[in-house]
Amino acid sequence: MTRKLYTGRLVDVSFDGEICQHAAECVRGMPEVFNTRARPWINLEPAATPEGAAQLIAVVGRCPSGALKIERGAEHAAG
C-alpha cells in the first residue's frame, strides 16, 4: 500500500491510490477539497473551519474503498 498524507489545520486525510475505486464520492461531496484537475488534488484549506472539518469527515466516511481515511494526529488533539 502506498498511502499519502495530506495535512490540514484541523484534520489530516490520507489517500491510497492503489485501492481507490474511483466512485467519486469525495469529488461530489466536497469538490472544493477534492479536485482531480489540481495538483495536489487534495486541498484541505476549505476544511479549516470546524464546520468544514465536520463535512470533510462525513465525506471521507462515504469512501467505499477506504482509500481515503481521516488521520487523527496528536497535533490536532489539543485544538
The pLDDT of residue 72? 77
Q: Name the pTM for this structure.
A: 0.88
Regions of the chain with pLDDT less than 70: 1, 73-79
- Position 29 scores a pLDDT of 98
Q: What is the CA radius of gyration of the chain?
A: 12
Fold of the 3-77 domain: Alpha-Beta Plaits (3.30.70)
Res 67: pLDDT: 98
On the CB side of 42, CA atoms within 13 Å amount to 23
Q: What is the predicted pLDDT for the residue at 1?
A: 62
- For position 75, what pLDDT does the model report? 59
Cell reading at 67: 482509500
